[in-house]
Amino acid sequence: MSQLIDQRYQILDMLGRGGMGVVYRAMDRLTQQTVALKQVTVSVDWLAFSRSHESNRLLSLAVEFQVLAALRHPHIISVLDFGFDAHRQPYFTMELLTAAQPLTRAAAGTPQTTQVRYLAELLQALAYLHRRGVIHRDLKPGNVLVQANQVKVLDFGLAQQHTVGAQDAPLAGTLAYLAPELLTHSPASIQSDLYAVGLIACELFHGEFPYQRQDLAVLLNEILHTTPDVSDLPPALADFLTTLLAKNPDERPTSAEAALDMLCAAVTQPPPPETATIRESYLQASSFVGRDQELATLAAALQATINGQGSTWLIGGESGVGKSRLLDELRIRALIAGVTVVRGQGVEGGGLSYQLWRDVLPRLILGIELSDLEAGVLKDIVPAIDALLNRDIPAVPPLDGRAGQQRLALTIADVFRRQPRPVLLLLEDLHWAEAYLEPLKQLLAIADQLPHMMIVGTYRSDERPDLPAALAHMQLLPLERLAEDEVAALAASMLGADARRPDLVRWLTQQTEGNIFFLVEVVRALAEEAGRLADIAAMQLPETILVGGVQQIVRRRLGRVPEWGQPLLKVAAVAGRQIDEAVLEQIIHADDPHLLAENRLASWLTACAEAAVLEIREGRWRFTHDKLRETVVRDLPNAEGQSLNRRVGAALEAVYPRDPAYAEALLEHWHRAGDLDKEIVYLAPVAERLIDIQADYARAQHVLERGLDRLPEDDPRCAALLNRLAATWRNRGDRERAQAITARAHQLALHFGDQREAARSLSSLGTIAASQGVYAEARTYFQQSLTFAQAAADHKRTAQSLNNLGAVAAHQGEYAEARAHHLHGLDIAQAIGDQRSVASSLSNLGMLAVREGLYSEAWDYYRRGLALARAMGDQRNIALSLHNLGNLAIRQEAYAEARGYLQESLALAEAIGQQRIIAGSLVNLGDVALRQREFASARLYFQRSLSLVKALGDQKGIADNLLHLGEAALWEGAYADARAHLQQSLALAQTLGDQLATAHSLHRLGLVALRGGEAATAQAYHQHSLSIYAAVNAEPELLMVVSSLAEVLHARGDRVRAAQ
């Protein structure tokens, strides 16, 4: 079979078919695990549900699936995922049991002690299900399997309804195992499940089913009126079975725990240890209240998205106010509507690089075709992409800084753009994801191109009140605390109608101020005092919560994790909200190599889930609320916190050796462990990634300054850290501070003979000098950097230094020297495979060829650069190459071609937010319009560009735009305006020391003077510009000025010189 379910599950073969649906063996393309997938083929109207009472039965089914997927117990099969396929047919997946047998077959011929153990495990599983409000409804030996000598209960919670007679109400379950009351229209219950256990127990002990099944009428009569004969069993065991099989459900045990106690007493065995309490099921299943308006708003937006009108939302509120639950409700509605739902979450401290997107992208990748370049760009944050796409994905050339961010963001945006179905993107805890918001901002920038996409993010308004300003395109939806009537509704859902007692509601509102998380915790604490949830409404309320308030109540909940599980709970809290099972297994194994870590971990996860400290969300374990994790970490003594961070760090290194994705997490763990040497090992590479890949300069500064504060000032490792710290300030525009820090780094590098860092610091100093127009000083720095780089055999730095020297030489009009440097740098970059440096060299050589009038050569360099930029997915350099090609086309008067290049450059630059390229493309588009005498259009282009460069503080760009505005005014005959613009341009160019820009302004001022009849003034301007062009060897401009000077001389009557 080759059928794909929901683009994720590859059907391999059919395992079985039942009344409710078909079960397949399937490959989960996301996890590469083989699972069992059950497609529900009967009408939803014929399904019975354990706990949902929604009028929309499809919605009820989705709620039921969500409950089942959150259950984890050693004796129930794990429901891993659920959804609705392209035809809106429901399905769910489970762990695949291999070599499993039905309980009765597995128990046949075994000692009674084994049979009793199997029954005890079945009752433990039922106790767990019942506490969470799940009635099995269809217990039979085929749904109770034994694998590896352990019971596994499956197919719980859902059952098909059957009709016994034409006038009878539908019944749920397999007829032979139905309790008598179900045949008389009573609802399924704990007692009806226990009756089925009694029948299974009879089969275990007798080897056959106690009723006659060949004739339906006889079967129904025996179920209603005949008590199976168990007199051959020991009296206590016989009494146990007789009680389970009582025709009156009120005579059966009240719970699976009670039945388990009876069984153990009958065989004189102690009951297995059990720590959970029945009230947890009610607390975890509390109703969704107080958010009807917000849910209605989001549901309407979801429907609009399905109809082709997408939207973006930002849900704000304090911790514990109910943001995640609101997303859960929206997710269910999206799934049943056939929407693809993906969910990401920010992690305190940042987590792995681009943590927010790691759970989002794999699901989306499955449904589209990706090129090798696109897949390679995503590989850093989707490490398993080779397996997902079933092909080897080659590495892509790295891009530094903002270029790398833009390439990734645009690739992610394209993944969303190409989805075949509407998409709901849920992003939780954005207040912790600031470093990785670039893809989100890119999606927001092109939201109008994604009509079938809805984005909903959440954030803690008490932690990042300014986040809405940073995500201004998103509609804000604030969540306030619950009002008193909403507190009453939530209390009633947990405690019953009596909980609406006015004094109780007022008390709960005062103590919790309407915070949902606090309210549930307070109810837990009251239940412990009252004994039962139902007794809270009648109890005498204390004046206030326990000493220590809600924080102390949170600690009480944490205390419900068994004592043996507390050490691992602390480790997990230190590791983060998401549970990394591989890391915890490594820690367990390190503590006791003889202990089977997997079994120990499974028991711990179950114990924590029963204490409502952990939950499973979409197949992954995590703390039910981050306040729980935060409390564990906050309460750790300093020494213990350091020790735990050390253990987590060591485990991460063992499980993910040399994986750069974990470098930042390891940096934090070793910092908190107080291990300075380990911290420094990760500090430099983390800082480089933050600066060069993520452009997160603030975070880089924080970790670098923190590390430097702990190192002695004369430590040789400081040079590398100072160089990277200087880069953060340089990239943020603080050249003075960058220069001072770089100078310190250079002194240290020289002192310790660190040639590599000396080359880096000199290169940085040269870049600062060049940006200030001090080219002689910049050349000295770059030459020295080249010397150190060559001595250190640092080929990448050597190529960069040569390119820098070439750029400085070009600025100084020394074109032959510039060409030699660029060609040398190109050779080295090609030899070491540094594609980014190759692209830089090609661009520099192209600009140099233009200055020398070698247009054919320039075309070749620019086109090669464009091809390379496209191959790398370097959006900035693609836009820049297109801009350069457009500029070159203008020089050759190929205006239609120029306009095409420039419009493509402008569109791409706008998509990636490259303001300088936008400004450059606008000014060149204005130039095209001007040369085609489209004066109004030209002025608009120039004015738009001028506004941008003014906002950027780009003085050279301002001078350039004023020059073009002056030229436009000149062509239109507005000589006064032209002179004003050109004089401003000239003043700026002279202040900047930009010789070419100065000459351009002087030449245009000469043209204005000539048109105004001031021939002598015009001649002076032209001669001045001519001397500058000659000094910098600008041949195309020389020819142009000579022609203008001839015109001036002719106007003054000096025809001989004009002819010369």
Q: What is the DSSP string of 806-874?
A: HHHHHHTT-HHHHHHHHHHHHHHHHHHT-HHHHHHHHHHHHHHHHHTT-HHHHHHHHHHHHHHHHHHT-
| pLDDT value of residue 955 | 85
The per-residue pLDDT for range 124-139, each reduced to its tens digit, is: 889 878 877 788 888 9
For residues 764-792, b (16+ Cβ closer than 10 Å) or e, as one string? bbbbbbbeeebbebbbbbbebbbbbbeeb
| pLDDT value of residue 134 | 82
* 954: annotated active-site residue: no
The per-residue pLDDT for range 822-862, each reduced to its tens digit, is: 999 999 999 998 888 898 899 999 999 998 889 999 999 99
| pLDDT value of residue 168 | 42
CATH fold of 565-641: Arc Repressor Mutant, subunit A (1.10.10)
Reply yes or no on whether the pLDDT at 768 is more than 70.
yes
Which DSSP letter does residue 952 get?
H
CB-count burial class (<10 Å; 0-12, 13-18, 19+) for 857: middle
Distance between CA atoms of 1028 and 613, rounded to whole angstroms?
76
To the question of domain 101-274 being in CATH 1.10.510.10, the answer is: yes
Reply yes or no on whether the pLDDT at 739 is more than 80.
yes
Distance between CA atoms of 170 and 487, rounded to whole angstroms?
37
More confident residue, 489 or 374: 374
Reply yes or no on whether the pLDDT at 658 is more than 80.
yes
| pLDDT value of residue 492 | 72
Other C-beta atoms closer than 10 Å to the C-beta of 192 total 24
The per-residue pLDDT for range 23-36, each reduced to its tens digit, is: 899 999 888 889 99
| Backbone dihedral region for residue 496 (phi beyond 0: left; psi -120 to 50: alpha; all else: beta) | left
Reply yes or no on whether the pLDDT at 165 is more than 60.
no
Distance between CA atoms of 293 and 299, rounded to whole angstroms?
10
| Backbone dihedral region for residue 352 (phi beyond 0: left; psi -120 to 50: alpha; all else: beta) | beta
Cβ atoms of 21 and 13 within 8 Å: the answer is no
Look at domain 291-478 and name its CATH class.
Answer: alpha beta
Assign 3-state DSSP to the chain and report helix, strand, coil percentages, each to 5.
60, 10, 30
Residues of the chain with pLDDT > 70, as a percent, come to 89
In the block, residue with structure tokens 């969704």:
288
More confident residue, 545 or 63: 63
Reply yes or no on whether the pLDDT at 281 is more than 60.
no
Reported residue count of the chain is 1060
**For residue 627, what pLDDT band results from cuts at 50, 70 and 90?**
confident
The per-residue pLDDT for range 296-341, each reduced to its tens digit, is: 999 999 999 999 999 999 999 888 788 888 998 898 888 888 899 9
Arithmetic mean of pLDDT, 807-822:
90
The CA-based angle 606-610-615, given to 5 degrees, is: 75
Reply yes or no on whether the pLDDT at 992 is more than 90.
no
Which candidate, 412, 462, 403, places its Cα nearest to that of 437?
A: 412
Provide the strand spans (E) within 154-208.
159-162, 171-172
Selected catalytic residue, list 6, 28, 81, 138: 138
| pLDDT value of residue 51 | 47
| pLDDT value of residue 681 | 94
Q: Is the dihedral of CA 387, 388, 390, 394 positive or negative?
A: negative
Per-residue tokens: 390: 């079933």
Arithmetic mean of pLDDT, 683-697:
84
| pLDDT value of residue 279 | 45
Arithmetic mean of pLDDT, 751-768:
94
Arithmetic mean of pLDDT, 97-107:
89
| pLDDT value of residue 875 | 84
Which candidate, 326, 323, 325, 365, places its Cα nearest to that of 342?
A: 365
Distance between CA atoms of 446 and 147, rounded to whole angstroms?
52
Which candidate, 22, 38, 137, places its Cα nearest to that of 94?
A: 38
For 658-765, CATH gives 1.25.40.10
- Across the chain, mean pLDDT equals 85
Distance between CA atoms of 144 and 160, rounded to whole angstroms?
17
Cα within 13 Å of Cα(213), Cβ side: 9
CATH fold of 4-95: Phosphorylase Kinase; domain 1 (3.30.200)
**For residue 372, what pLDDT band results from cuts at 50, 70 and 90?**
very high
